[in-house]
């Protein structure tokens, strides 16, 4: 058992009677990038059944299995974390799915059907679906510009990147245009709208920082490709929801109905 991942371990010691590999358990896995509304789905999956246990989340597993072995120390800057996780994927093509599936779980603590938040991108999702047939998936999606606005509103201390500058409304549009990869993620009119966000009370530096997060994620993960793959699975294995078309209450209702029907 690891202090970073309680009641989970990755070492090669013999399996105890109460332990099972997560690859063998019927996990329910949330799929989606930052700002798509996974917290709503997570609450729906766990709220109706107090016995459902939620595994350490993606950040914690990333820290314990990917970041610390490579960096030797905790890393908070998201750009650096993306670089290190990309390095991990060079030798582990399944990424987070491969890391999670390798862990041994104490089922006395985690039960036999825990929930995990979450997987991202086609490589992770396809690896998980093809390698771990007992796993099932809830995928949530939202346009990238919507995700920027949600990130600006949630005040998560983890949502930070290095190199952000205050700037001004006048220079924000230029900074967005100069941001590597932004033109591949956002249409010109979307960048114009993002540059106008300071008029709604958001600091230009905060807007630029959140756009960097979205662009960095899109450089490493393709949400649309993951969703398209999941739509090829039987409906009892995958639920795909648009969190713009559905409000949080509708998302929760859809997840509860699917979870009850798939049980």
What is the DSSP track for 17-46? TTEEEGGGS--EEEE--TTS-HHHHHHHHH
Residue 72: which residues within 8 A CB-CB, separation 6 or more?
none
Mean pLDDT of 234-252: 93
Structure tokens at 65: 């299995």
**What Å distances lie between residue 214 and 18, 27, 100, CA to CA?**
40, 27, 24
- Give whole-number Cα distances, 93 to 68, 84, 107, in Å: 19, 14, 27
Report pLDDT for 156. Answer: 45
pLDDT class of 125 with cuts at 50, 70, 90? very high
DSSP-derived secondary structure letter, 53: -
Q: What is the pLDDT of residue 77?
A: 87
Mean pLDDT of 143-166: 66
Residue pair 239/255 in contact (Cβ under 8 Å)? The answer is: yes
End-to-end CA distance of the chain: 29
Longest dimension (CA), the chain: 63
Distance of alpha carbon 143 from its chain centroid, rounded?
Answer: 15
Q: How far is it, in rounded angstroms, from Cα 226 to Cα 32?
A: 9
Instruction: Point out which residues pair with 137 in neighbouring strands.
Output: 29, 238
- At residue 2 the predicted structure's pLDDT band, cuts being 50, 70 and 90, is very low
CATH architecture classification, 18-144+221-262: 3-Layer(aba) Sandwich (3.40)
Q: What is the pLDDT of residues 193-237, one digit of tens each?
A: 999 999 999 999 999 999 999 998 888 788 899 999 999 999 999
Mean pLDDT of the chain, nearest integer:
87
Separation CA 142–CA 241 (nearest Å): 9
Domain borders along the chain are: 18-144+221-262, 156-218
Q: Which residues contact 192 (CB under 8 A, 6 or more apart)?
A: 173
99 pLDDT exceeds 50? yes
């Amino acid at each position: 058992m690891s202090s970073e991942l309680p009641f989970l371990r990755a070492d090669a010691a013999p399996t105890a009677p109460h332990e099972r590999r997560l690859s063998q358990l019927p996990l329910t896995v949330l799929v989606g990038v930052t700002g798509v509304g996974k917290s709503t789905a997570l609450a729906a999956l766990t709220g109706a059944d107090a016995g459902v246990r939620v595994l350490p989340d993606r950040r914690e597993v990333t820290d314990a299995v990917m970041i610390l072995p490579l960096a030797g120390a905790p890393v908070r800057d998201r750009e650096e974390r993306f670089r290190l996780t990309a390095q991990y994927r060079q030798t582990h093509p399944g990424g987070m799915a491969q890391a999670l599936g390798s862990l041994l779980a104490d089922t006395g603590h985690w039960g036999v059907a825990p929930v995990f938040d979450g997987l991202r991108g086609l490589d992770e999702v396809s690896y998980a679906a093809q390698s771990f047939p007992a796993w099932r998936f809830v995928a949530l999606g939202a346009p990238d510009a919507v995700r920027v606005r949600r990130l600006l509103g949630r005040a998560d201390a983890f949502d930070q990147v290095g190199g952000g500058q205050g700037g001004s409304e006048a220079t924000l549009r230029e900074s967005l245009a100069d941001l590597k990869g932004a033109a591949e993620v956002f249409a010109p009119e979307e960048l114009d709208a993002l540059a106008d966000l300071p008029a709604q009370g958001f600091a230009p530096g905060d807007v630029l920082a959140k756009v960097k997060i979205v662009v960095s994620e899109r450089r490493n993960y393709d949400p649309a490709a993951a969703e398209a793959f999941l739509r090829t699975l039987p409906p009892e294995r995958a639920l795909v929801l648009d969190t713009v078309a559905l409000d949080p209450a509708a998302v929760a209702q859809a997840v509860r109905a699917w979870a009850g029907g798939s049980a």
